[in-house]
A and B are shown apart, each in its own frame.
Chain A
C-alpha cells in the first residue's frame, strides 16, 4: 500500500487560474511533511516543511496546508514559471526513510 499519494498526476492551468494540488498520506504517525519543486532534468528544490495539523506556510504564490490525512499546495494566480513537478514526502514515526509521492506535473499556459 502506498503511504503517499499525490493527485492529480498532471494539471494544466491558464495563467492566473488558481488551483490546489493534493498529497494524501497513510502513515501511523506523522513527524513531518515536505513539499518540493522539481524542474525537468534538475534536482528537487525544497519549498516547505509542515509538522502538525493546522499548520500553514506561504511563499510567494504558494501556500501549503496540513490536515491529519492530507496536505494541499495552493497556487494562487500562477505564472508560466510555476510550471514544474511538485513532490511531497512524508516522515513517519519510527521509519528510517522518507516516503515520496510520484508528483504532480503542473503546466501553466500563458
Chain B
C-alpha cells in the first residue's frame, strides 16, 4: 500500500542534542512538508519542498533543518537551537507542488525532552 512512513513514533531529546525525524513516501509525490502540532493550535508549517534538492522555510523554521536529496525522503533535524521542541511532528506529501493540492499525512512523531 502506498503511503507516508514516519519514524520513530516516539523520540526523546536530551539538552544540546540534535535529533532527526524520518519521513519516507512511496506515493511518487513531488512535494513534501513538515508541520508541527501543539495542543490548542492549528498545524504550523516548518519547511516544505516542491522538488528534489529544493526546499523553503515555513512560518516556524528557526531551530530546524531539512534535506531533500531523494524524491521519497524528507528528513527533519531538530537542532539544539530549537528551545521548545516538545510537540507532535507531522510529515505530509502532495502529488504536485501548490497549496491547492490535497496533502496526505503520515502518522507523526512525538518528540519529548528528557
Q: Does more than half of chain B's interface fall in helix, strand or loop, or is it mixed?
A: loop
Is A44 part of the contact surface with B, judged by Cβ < 8 Å? yes
Contact A43 B107 (CB under 8 A): yes
Find chain B residues with CB under 8 A from A22 CB: none
Contact B58 A97 (CB under 8 A): yes
Find chain B residues with CB under 8 A from A46 CB: 102-105
How many A-B contacts at CB < 8 Å in the complex? 59
Contact B100 A44 (CB under 8 A): no
Q: Does more than half of chain A's interface fall in helix, strand or loop, or is it mixed?
A: strand
Contact B42 A4 (CB under 8 A): yes
- A33 to B11 Cα, complex, angstroms: 32
Most chain A CB within 10 A, of B59, B90, B99, B103, is at: B99
Contact B43 A91 (CB under 8 A): no
Is A102 part of the contact surface with B, judged by Cβ < 8 Å? yes
Is B45 part of the contact surface with A, judged by Cβ < 8 Å? yes
- A101 to B58 Cα, complex, angstroms: 17
Is B17 part of the contact surface with A, judged by Cβ < 8 Å? no
Contact A91 B105 (CB under 8 A): no
- A106 to B95 Cα, complex, angstroms: 30
B41 nearest in chain A by CB position: A102
Find chain B residues with CB under 8 A from A31 CB: 99-100
What would 27 A/B residue contacts be, using CB atoms closer than 8 Å? A32-B99, A36-B105, A41-B110, A42-B108, A43-B4, A43-B6, A43-B105, A43-B107, A44-B43, A44-B105, A46-B102, A46-B105, A87-B42, A87-B43, A91-B99, A96-B99, A97-B45, A97-B58, A97-B59, A97-B99, A98-B45, A98-B99, A100-B42, A100-B43, A101-B42, A102-B42, A103-B42
